[in-house]
Structure 1
Amino acid sequence: MSRISLGRYGFSVEVRDDDSHLAAALTVEGLGFGTLWLNGGQLDRLDRLTDLLAATTTAVVGSAIIPPDRYSAAEVSELFARAEADAPGRLMVGLGSSHRPRALTLLGDYLDELDAVPEDRRLLAAFGPRALAVARDRFAGAMPMLFTAQRTAEVRRVLGADRTLSVGLYVVLDEDPATARATARRPLQFLTAMPQYRKSLERQGFSPDDISGISDRLVDTLVAWGGPRHVLDHAARLHAAGADHVQLNVLGADGQPTGVAAARLLAAEFG
């Protein structure tokens, strides 16, 4: 299988109601980020992805993720056809699994209707053994997040050398432990309540207290907070463990850089 190159680093774009994120995305692309990602909560409509493709010139645009319970295989196929017509080779379709019972069976049925999107242009947000097997067999690879370097290495062995492994990494550009951790805990409060994330964290050796209390240990291990060099050192450990690509998802509160400002700080450390 040929693999689309996502580049070493990706950057999550925050959608703005005034569409100012489109100009920002062009700037971020120019800083050297290989892929621009739109997180699932930003995908109130699928053409957010084609808007981003039209606003940029070279970067891959990826969905992280398209929820199959919300968008049908026919809608995603139509999206892909439009993207290929207007920006060939630049859309990566990141999918999640259903939240309904028999999720992987439903995913298999969904993929049977998604033949218009070739395997090498889709990634699965996979965490556990069964989902990772589906990512290996029916996708270009996997796009998990909240992974340690050790877990990244384990998943690389499961996927094999010919599959893409994109690891999502939360980032807080703040060197103050209290405020950095407080910002990091915001999305973790939601994610640690989801069964697939709890199981993934348990597999990685975090205790129930670590997970329920979102302990400092959990935050410090899974979230890259601090200065830009520290963040890219964290990403480098994921690369060394087997990640092809690290998606930098920058979080921020008052005084913490986000958006283009954060992208500039991080890009200055590339090399």
Structure 2
Amino acid sequence: MVVEETRRQLSGSVGAGLMVPVAPAAEWRETVRRVEDAGYGSVWINEAIGGRESFAQMGVLLAATERIMVGSGVANVWARHPAAMQGGAAVLADAYPGRLALCAGVSMGSMVEQAGLRWERPLQKMRDYLDRMDESADMAPRPPVPFPRLLGALGPKMLELARDRADGALPAAMPVEHTRRAREILGPDKLLVVMQLAIPETDPATARGIVRASGLLDLPGSPYDRALRGLGYGDDDLKSDPLIDLRFAWGDEKAIADRMQEHRGAGADHVAVSVLAPDLRSTADLLERLAPALMAR
């Protein structure tokens, strides 16, 4: 039921990712209002342990807006006890019915260890975490308000877990062929929300240079690295121009809109665009610039 309701809410709209460092709350409020006014149907935030905390941040964004769905993309399972994850989502869902989407993820070993925690096998970690979330559900506000639970999933085993134990998956920064494979694994009855990273820049060398400078290609052993290898890409491909072009949409507004349409054609229920920008205000500027072309498609 929650999958059908979320699909209905997101139908015909595109989402926006706000993947930028911590900024003053006033800037977050201003940005999310601009994103909502531009017509986006959802907004997604990421999380770094010790940086922007997902539930506090989602509370700020929900309070500042009227209709847009706010999602975690992703809420880091290492950052909180599973009962706190369940309880935080339940409280926000109760306060803002139909506007919260929870996506939980295992992050990356380097980030977890940098926070002083011990990295464990990610698949087993997520299984155990979901078990404990489910066990704590009776502590939530009563009567409970349903919300979609997604997993940040890239590899086939994590996608299978999203199929079996969640309402769907949210992969990011992957080629369209990954979206097609994710839909095959999830089947037709689960949500597939795709995060497309974009660079509104028409010069190929400049666009690829922005990607390389972002550090997003320097993640050896990460879930992204393993998922790309699972698609058949090798060492020589991972930082190559052709794979950058497949993973990151660059060009004018139409080119970025076309790429998002390709994800929908490959089985995505909803596609969110995250522009590579240095701060919130420039992110809002770019999202407003892209909105007419994205909404038209």
Instruction: Report if TM-score (shorter chain) is over 0.5.
Output: yes
How many residues get paired?
266
Question: Share of identical aligned residues, percent?
Answer: 33
Q: Deviations over 1:170-215 (max 9, x none)?
A: 111111112211112214234x32432111111223221121xx11
Is the 1:47–1:79 Cα contact (8 Å) retained in structure 2? no
Report runs of 4+ in structure 1 exceeding 4 Å deviation: 117-120
Q: Structure 1 residues 253 and 177, CA, compared in 2 at 3 Å: closer, same or farther?
A: farther
Is the 1:173–1:252 Cα contact (8 Å) retained in structure 2? no
Q: Deviations over 1:7-52 (max 9, x none)?
A: 4411112452253121210121121111111112363353111111
Q: Structure 1 residues 187 and 246, CA, compared in 2 at 3 Å: closer, same or farther?
A: farther
The answer for unaligned runs of 5 or more in structure 2 is 110-118
1:74 CA drift (Å):
2.1
Equivalent of 2:227, from 185, 191, 200? 200
Tell me the equivalent position of 1:166. 193
| Pair 1:104-2:131 in alignment | no
Tell me the equivalent position of 1:53. 62
| Pair 1:134-2:187 in alignment | no
Is the 2:163–2:186 Cα contact (8 Å) retained in structure 1? yes
Distance 2:103 2:180 in 1: 21
Distance 1:215 1:138 in 2: 35
Q: Structure 1 residues 187 and 163, CA, compared in 2 at 3 Å: closer, same or farther?
A: farther
> After superposition, where does 1:1-271 map in structure 2 within 5 Å?
1-3=1-3, 4-5=6-7, 6-7=10-11, 8-13=13-18, 14=20, 15-41=22-48, 43-44=52-53, 46-97=55-106, 99=109, 100-115=119-134, 116=137, 121-185=148-212, 186-190=214-218, 192-211=219-238, 214-252=239-277, 258-269=282-293, 270-271=295-296
Q: Structure 1 residues 80 and 253, CA, compared in 2 at 3 Å: closer, same or farther?
A: closer
Distance 1:45 1:85 in 2: 17
> For 2:77, what is the secondary structure of its paired residue?
coil
Q: Deviations over 1:207-229 (max 9, x none)?
A: 21121xx1111111110011111
1:106 CA drift (Å):
2.1
Distance 2:160 2:178 in 1: 15
Is the 1:119–1:139 Cα contact (8 Å) retained in structure 2? no
> For 2:98, what is the secondary structure of its paired residue?
coil
Distance 2:70 2:156 in 1: 27
1:267 CA drift (Å):
1.0
Distance 2:276 2:183 in 1: 27
Given residue 125 of structure 2, which amino acid in structure 1 is its aligned partner? L
Moved more, 48-57 or 13-22: 13-22
Is the 2:159–2:186 Cα contact (8 Å) retained in structure 1? yes
Moved more, 1-10 or 234-243: 1-10
Given residue 124 of structure 2, which amino acid in structure 1 is its aligned partner? T
The answer for unaligned runs of 5 or more in structure 1 is none
> For 2:23, what is the secondary structure of its paired residue?
coil
1:85 CA drift (Å):
2.8
1:159 CA drift (Å):
0.5
Distance 2:226 2:277 in 1: 27
Distance 1:72 1:102 in 2: 17
Q: Deviations over 1:238-271 (max 9, x none)?
A: 11010111121100369xx942211111111122
Moved more, 112-121 or 199-208: 112-121
* Structural RMSD (CA): 2.2
Given residue 16 of structure 2, which amino acid in structure 1 is its aligned partner? F
1:120 CA drift (Å):
5.5
Tell me the equivalent position of 2:113. none
